[in-house]
Amino acid sequence: MEVLRLATLCLVRDGKLAAEFDQKMADCFNDCVERPQLEQARTITLQIKIVPNGNDPLDACRTDFAVKSSLPAVVVSRFMKANARRRGLVFESDTDDISIADGQQALEFEDGDES
């Protein structure tokens, strides 16, 4: 039997809590590597709730553990052209260019024939 301390958290649920924390840490690190231009913090929170069970505090306490992480949102921006006739914004799925002249049509390829 272990006493719950910072040093023994890695033993909770046979290491499952530590594994979850390590995964969240890796996710945050990988996000920093993949998106270094984003200066927002990546955060990891270990929350421990201790709830008394019954009238005798020495009897037992329910202990809940939660590991959460927060990564900056992924934002995808592009310009889209307003099209009143189609009542919406229009765009070409394969480019960010919006300089499509009125009446200009995009090339349409059959599946597998884009050469």
Threshold 0.85, pTM exceeds: no
DSSP track, 23-73: HHHHHHHHHHHH-TT--SPPEEEEEEEEEE-SS-TTT-EEEEEEEEEE-PP
DSSP track, 76-107: -----EEETTTTEEE--TT-S---PPTT----
Residue range 51-87, pLDDT digits in tens? 888 777 677 888 999 999 999 998 777 777 777 777 7
pLDDT at res. 84? 75
Work out the pLDDT band at 115, boundaries 50, 70, 90.
Answer: very low
Residue range 20-44, pLDDT digits in tens? 999 999 999 999 999 999 999 999 9
pLDDT at res. 61? 87
Give kind and range of the element (H or E) at residue 67. strand 61-70
